[in-house]
Amino acid sequence: MKNLILFFILFSILDAKETNLNFQNGNKFYIEKKYSDAIKEYEAILSLGIESPEVHFNIANSYFKNNNLGKAILHFEKANKLDRDNEDILFNLQYAQAKRIDKIDLIPEFFLKTWLLKINNIFSSGIGFIIMYLGFLFGLIFLTVVYYYSSLNRKVFFVGIILSLLSFCTILIYEYGESEKSSKVEGIITTSIVNIKLSPVRDSEDAFLLHEGTKFILLDNVGDWFKIQLSDGKIGWIESTNFGKI
C-alpha cells in the first residue's frame, strides 16, 4: 500500500482553515494508527460536500487499515474517478481489489465498444485532450490557408482534409466515451456479506450472495431497493444500506 497524501488545496471554501485542520488531524491519527479517529476527521471534510481525491485516498487507506475492505475500495474508486492519472491511487485500488472474496467473470463487450472506450481513456488525460483539440484546430487553419492560396499543391490540401477528419473523429470518440461513463452509475458492497434478492422485498428469495468490495452497475430502483448487474451479467436487488455509490 502507498502512503498518505499529506497536503491538499481548497478553493473558494469559507472554512478552509478548519477543513485543512481536519485533514492534518486525520493524517496525524493515521500515523498514530488511530484509524477510527482518522476516518472521523476525513468524514468531516467529505460531509461538507468536498470531493477531493486526496481526502478519498486517505480515508480509503484508513478504512483498509481498519479492516473495512468495502468502504476502502469505495473510496479508492472515488479517488480514482477524480484523478485517473494518479499511480498511487490506482496501485492501492488494485491492491485492495485483490483482497475481495468474490471473483466475478467479465462478459466480453462488443469489440468496437471496447476499442472506442480505450481510445477515450487515452484522450481523457489532460495532454491527450489538448493534443486532440489542437490537431482539429490546426487542421481547420490548414484548410483555410489552402483555400485562400489555391496555388498550393493539391496533395497538401488533401493532407489537411484527412488531418481535420481524423481530429474530428477523435473528438466524436471522446464525447461517446464520456457519455458512456456519465450514464453508468456504479456501486460497491460495503457490508461484509449480503444476500441479493430476486425482487425488491426483504422476504424475496435469494438470487446470490455477495461480499464487501464487489463492484456492480445500478440499473433501477424502487424506493430503497436498487436493481444491480454484475460484470458476469447476474441481476438482483439490494437495499441501499448495503452499498455506496461511486
State mean pLDDT over 159-187.
70
Q: Please say whether the structural domain 186-245 has been given the CATH code 2.30.30.40.
A: yes
Q: 16-97 in CATH: which number?
A: 1.25.40.10
Query: pLDDT value at position 112?
Result: 59
Give the type of residue at 125: S
Q: Determine the angle formed by the axes of helices 69-82 and 53-65, rounding to 10 degrees.
A: 160
Cell numbers at residue 37, please?
479517529
Query: pLDDT value at position 230?
Result: 96
In terms of average pLDDT, the best of 36-45, 154-163, 165-174 is: 36-45
For the ranges 7-11, 18-22, 158-162, 225-229, which has the lowest average pLDDT? Answer: 7-11
Distance CA 26, CA 110 (A): 44
State mean pLDDT over 139-159.
63
Where do the domains of the chain lie?
16-97, 111-183, 186-245
Query: Quick check: 174 and 166 in contact, CB under 8 A?
Result: no
Q: Tell which wins on pLDDT, 163 or 206.
A: 206
Query: Quick check: 116 and 171 in contact, CB under 8 A?
Result: no
State pTM to two decimals: 0.72
Distance CA 184, CA 145 (A): 43
Q: Determine the angle formed by the axes of helices 16-31 and 35-46, rounding to 10 degrees.
A: 160
Model confidence band, residue 104 (pLDDT cutoffs 50, 70, 90): confident
Would you say the CATH fold of 186-245 matches that of 16-97? no
* 65 CB-contact burial (10 Å; exposed 0-12 / middle 13-18 / buried 19+): middle
